[in-house]
Structure 1
Amino acid sequence: MNQTDSITAIVLASHSLARIAARDAGNEAPSAQWRVLSILNQHGGMRLGALASAARTTQPGMTRLIGILEHAGLVERSADPADSRATVVNATVDGIRALDEWREELGATLAPRFQRLSEDDWRAIERTAAIFGERAQDTPDETGDDE
Structure 2
Amino acid sequence: MSASRPESLRQLEHEVGVLIRRIRRVIGERSRAVHPDLQPASYLLLAYLAESGPMRSSAIAGTFDVDKGAISRQVQHLVDLGLVDRQPDPDDGRATLVSASESAVRRLAEVSSERRRWLDERLSDWSDDDLRGLVESLGRYNGALD
TM-score, with structure 1 as normaliser: 0.66
User: What is the match of residue 37 of structure 1?
Assistant: 46
Match in the other structure for 1:101? 110
Q: 1:80 to 1:22 in 2, by over 3 A?
A: closer
For the residue of structure 1 that corresponds to 2:45, the secondary structure is helix
Match for residue 69 of structure 1 among 75, 78, 82: 78
Distance in 1, Cα, partners of 2:42 & 2:91: 26
User: Unaligned 5+ residue runs, structure 2?
Assistant: none
Residue 122 (structure 1) aligns with: 131
State the SS of the aligned residue for 1:79: strand
Distance 1:39 1:96, change over 3 A: same
Tell me, yes or no, if the aligned pair for 2:31 and 2:39 is still in contact at 8 Å: no
Assess if the C-alpha contact under 8 Å between 1:48 and 1:59 holds in 2.
yes
Structural RMSD (CA):
3.4
Going from structure 1 to structure 2, the CA distance change for 1:126 and 1:25 (only over 3 Å counts) comes to same
Gaps of 5+ in 1: 141-147
One of 8, 21, 25 as aligned partner of 1:20: 25
Give me the identity figure in percent.
26
Q: Judge conservation of contact 2:27–2:43 (CA < 8 Å) in 1.
A: no
Distance of 1:32 and 1:23 partners within structure 2: 9
Contact 1:74 1:91 in 2 (8 A): yes
Hey, what's the Cα distance between the residues in 2 that align with 1:92 and 1:51? 16
TM-score by length of 2: 0.66
